[in-house]
Amino acid sequence: MKDYRKSIKLVVFISLSLYFLIKAIEKWIGRSSLLSVGTSIGVIALITTILYILWNNHLWKIKKFKLSGMLSYLCGFHDYPDLAGQWAGDYCSSYNFDEENKQYTTTDKVEMDIRQNYLSIKIRCRFGESSESKSFFSTLLQDEHGDWGLIYAYRNDPRDPALQSAPSGGIHEGFAYLKVKDNGDKLEGYYTTDEMRKTRGRIVLQKKY
């Protein structure tokens, strides 16, 4: 994900809030300069850094810290679903597709590990005993109906000798779009691979913890 525009908005919002808070305290206690300029900048920078780290790693998950509407957008706050944790489910692939019956015949278990903070999300998948993949781009997007989707591009490394030796086998790249359902406890969607592998499929995952 790693959206630096949101990061900049967040830093500016915290810094300005602290600045006006200091000015309000100065006015309240009747002092024109509570801190020297240098000290004020240092204090604001320190507090901003601490709050930034706390927000990025912890506070954004807590509902009571959420902002909504235009204020949320202007300040760089977004009500992201918390997807961090272990996921498990099933996938089906068109690698061996039954054209006559129009159905997938390649199916297996899939496990997903998601590591997430406010500004980034990293995804690692294991597809049965056949392959592993790691994301190199990922983001969360909200549609016009307010529903969230996890979108990511990945690089897959097959471990199955049959896949490695196949004409279209070996390391390949792909793209996935998974809808976030059941209040963030379920992911469901599809994936597609590059022009060498030329496969597609569906993924359904349930959050374990």
Residues of the chain with CATH 2.40.128.380: 85-207
Evaluate if residue 48 carries a pLDDT over 60.
Answer: yes
Please give the sequence-ordered ranges of beta strands (E in DSSP) within the chain, or none if there are none.
85-98, 103-116, 121-127, 131-142, 148-158, 172-181, 186-193, 200-207
Express as a percent the part of the chain with pLDDT over 90. 34
Evaluate if residue 135 carries a pLDDT over 70.
Answer: yes
Evaluate if residue 102 carries a pLDDT over 80.
Answer: no
Amino acid at 179: K
pLDDT of residue 92: 86
Closest CA to 138 of 156, 157, 114: 114
| Between 31 and 100, residue with greater pLDDT | 100
Q: State the CB neighbour count (10 A cutoff) for residue 46.
A: 11
CATH architecture of 85-207: Beta Barrel (2.40)
Across 42-54, average pLDDT = 82
pLDDT of residue 66: 62
pLDDT of residue 72: 64
Pair of tokens at residue 29: 């206690």
What DSSP string describes 53-80? HHHHHTGGG-GGG---HHHHHHHT----
What span, in angstroms and rounded, lies between the C-alpha atoms of 26 and 23? 5
What span, in angstroms and rounded, lies between the C-alpha atoms of 180 and 147? 7
Q: Which of 74-83, 143-152, 181-190 has the lowest mean pLDDT?
A: 74-83
Q: Tens of pLDDT along 63-76? A: 766 665 555 666 66
The partner residues of 200 in beta bridges, in order of sequence, read 192
pLDDT of residue 175: 96
Evaluate if residue 87 carries a pLDDT over 90.
Answer: yes
Pair of tokens at residue 49: 């850094």
pLDDT of residue 185: 95
pLDDT of residue 199: 83
pLDDT tier for residue 157 given thresholds of 50, 70 and 90:
confident
pLDDT of residue 46: 82
What span, in angstroms and rounded, lies between the C-alpha atoms of 62 and 48? 19
Q: Which of 56-60, 67-71, 142-146, 153-157 has the lowest mean pLDDT?
A: 67-71
pLDDT tier for residue 19 given thresholds of 50, 70 and 90:
confident
